Amino acid sequence: PPNTAPPPLPSSSLPEGYYEEAVPLSPGKAPEYITANYDSDAMSSSYESYDEEEEDGKGQKMRHQWPSAEASMDLVKDARICAFLLRKKRFGQWTKLLCVIKENKLLCYKSSKDQTPQMELTLYGCSITHIPKDGKKKKHELKIVHQGADALVLAVQSKEQAEEWLK
């Protein structure tokens, strides 16, 4: 049944097939994530770019909930710590990854359904720095530097979460 109150910010992954009624906008206003005004397939394009919108959020949307227990159990078995974190890409965009620390390695998965990590980094010999949040847009960041490789920057929700990951 439709809810008359505005929807809350999502605190977990949306269920498969989730649909949200579009609210009409006043003329001349368009949400940032809609890229074409005359798109005949507007639902799919705005849904596909919803993920990009989510990544640019103010850190509220990072979450610890798992889409399904079965899908992610093998990935997190024997893990020291794990959570969905945002990874800073080359040109400043952020992408959501499931990050797991297991056996002194950082494993990053695109989704909890993936069995093979998108990225694997041995933490031995790495320097890890917490960069505190500075202003509204900036996130709490963990900068992981391995000699001879590009730095990996992950966003965490809070100073407390950063301290957990630094352990």
In the chain, CATH 2.30.29.30 sits at 69-166
Tokens encoding 8: 């809350």
Which among 21, 26, 30, 161 has a CA at the least distance from the CA of 86? 161
Class of domain 69-166: mainly beta
User: Are β-strands 152-156 and 81-88 bridged in parallel, bridged antiparallel, or unpaired?
Assistant: antiparallel
The pLDDT tens digits of the residues spanning 110-136 come to: 988 888 999 999 998 899 999 988 877
Walking along the chain (167 residues) 10 residues at a time, the average pLDDT comes out as 57 51 48 42 40 42 48 71 91 91 92 89 91 82 87 90 88
The pLDDT tens digits of the residues spanning 52-71 come to: 434 444 444 444 444 454 55
Q: b/e string for 29-57 if b means 16 or more Cβ within 10 A?
A: eeeebeeeeeeeeeeeebeeeeeeebbee
Tokens encoding 144: 């992981």
User: Are β-strands 94-102 and 140-146 bridged in parallel, bridged antiparallel, or unpaired?
Assistant: unpaired
141 in Cβ contact with 153 (< 8 Å): yes
Residues in the chain: 167
CA angle at 150 for the pair 137 and 49, rounded to the nearest 5°: 45
